[in-house]
Structure 1
């Protein structure tokens, strides 16, 4: 589904740089106009199988000028640094919720959920906090980054990543989504990509993949819907590309 264009506008345009290396889970060293800065990495896990070296990125400047890292890496690109028309992959999983909130409130996801003005953030269900409650619909947003659904160009260095193991929080939240249907009419697991991704079917490998898939299907059987949304991030704004329901596909998978 597509809607009228009403983008999420950044208050200050993002700055382009080039990642020199990822020093640890939290810090990337980024060169901007010949100066190297320590920048906050907003995701602690791996980003596909990419070795983050000589990789273009977009940075946001923190409003807190006393913060140790003034910049946050918002997106990366698998295009060459010299490419003037790069495509960007958003990696800020926390920002994904801000984008989703904007497009719900502006009615651009009305095919999935109505009454966007009634949106509430971080609503407690059982022992968990789910991302949104819109009217009588709970929404939990997940932004997969461990496996990127993009063509990785030849100049990009890669290495084989370890299998996905951080599954406890995922299983807990989709279980809470299913339980929320006891008092509410609807619950949605929203798989969010800050780039134009193909239909997401989850990982077929990894030690816990079958357990995760069975848990997802159990929740679907209890009435949870699965949707996907794709955004496009640029230095100035985030646009909605498309969104669609994948519940039946997840069951078939």
Structure 2
């Protein structure tokens, strides 16, 4: 749920110790002395967060018909504190943030070209297309995206470049659901094509926003917007 101030809050939180990843969608976690199979709300690798013995936070589902009772939503990293790994959370907090920024119209899941862009906004006669990317990979105080090759991310960045060339505004917003990180760089070692696409889009006029967050094991909210322009953080 999200309160009236844009703070996303999870209910019925329990804590556990991570044991192993079963597949992209499930993991084994020790909860109250029992090894439970839980749903992982992030299909990325998250190897630096999800390792045997890692402290994790989970939300107990109120759906009695589910195969798994718990959703794994956060992991604790000693250098950062809690890191939200719910892949749906960045779009939710971004949507709450956008409606408070003076746009006259905000529409999620906007069809553009061959893609669905996360948000379409209007402000006066100006039109904006915004794609949200959640970043959970941190190395030496900086975020990196993606943590696994992403055809989808490359495609969306190229669609935004096309929108800018057609006269609209294009924005890539990196939501950073971990404390102390204010910048996200392309993970060239993992997906150099995404890095090249992002660089080309930025040169064409696509805006890059960094959205640091306030985060606890069961809450998440955007704290501010940092704009990157001409290769530099403003």
Judge same fold: TM > 0.5, yes or no.
Answer: yes
Q: Give the Cα separation in 2 of the matches to 1:56 and 1:216.
A: 34
Equivalent position to 2:162, from 179, 195, 217: 179
Q: Give the Cα separation in 2 of the matches to 1:236 and 1:51.
A: 17
Q: What stretches of structure 2 of length at least 5 have no aligned partner?
A: none
1:125 matched residue in structure 2: 112
1:215 matched residue in structure 2: 197
SS of the residue corresponding to residue 119 of structure 2 reads strand
1:158 matched residue in structure 2: none
Q: Give the Cα separation in 2 of the matches to 1:164 and 1:194.
A: 14
Q: Structure 1 residues 150, 30: CA separation in 2 closer, same or farther (over 3 Å shift)?
A: farther
1:243 matched residue in structure 2: 225
- Structure 1 residue 235, shift from structure 2 partner: 4.1
Q: Give the Cα separation in 2 of the matches to 1:49 and 1:234.
A: 18
- Structure 1 residue 88, shift from structure 2 partner: 0.5
Structure-2-length-normalised TM-score = 0.82
- Structure 1 residue 144, shift from structure 2 partner: 2.9
Q: How does 1:96-111 map to 2 (within 5 A)?
A: 96-105=90-99, 107=100, 110=101
1:157 matched residue in structure 2: none
Instruction: Work out the number of aligned pairs and report it.
Output: 221
Alpha carbons 2:172, 2:209 under 8 Å: kept: yes
Q: Once the two structures are superposed, what CA deviation does each residue of 1:46-80 show, in whole Å capped at 9, x if it has no partner?
A: 11435511111111223432111121111100239
Q: Give the Cα separation in 1 of the matches to 2:87 and 2:218.
A: 18
Q: Give the Cα separation in 1 of the matches to 2:16 and 2:149.
A: 30
Alpha carbons 2:55, 2:75 under 8 Å: kept: yes
Q: Give the Cα separation in 1 of the matches to 2:165 and 2:38.
A: 44
SS of the residue corresponding to residue 201 of structure 1 reads strand
Q: What stretches of structure 1 of length at least 5 have no aligned partner?
A: 81-85, 152-162
Alpha carbons 1:201, 1:249 under 8 Å: kept: no
Q: Which has the higher strand share?
A: 2
Over the residues paired in the alignment, what is the CA RMSD in angstroms? 2.7
Alpha carbons 2:58, 2:72 under 8 Å: kept: yes
Q: Structure 1 residues 7, 128: CA separation in 2 closer, same or farther (over 3 Å shift)?
A: closer
2:172 matched residue in structure 1: 189
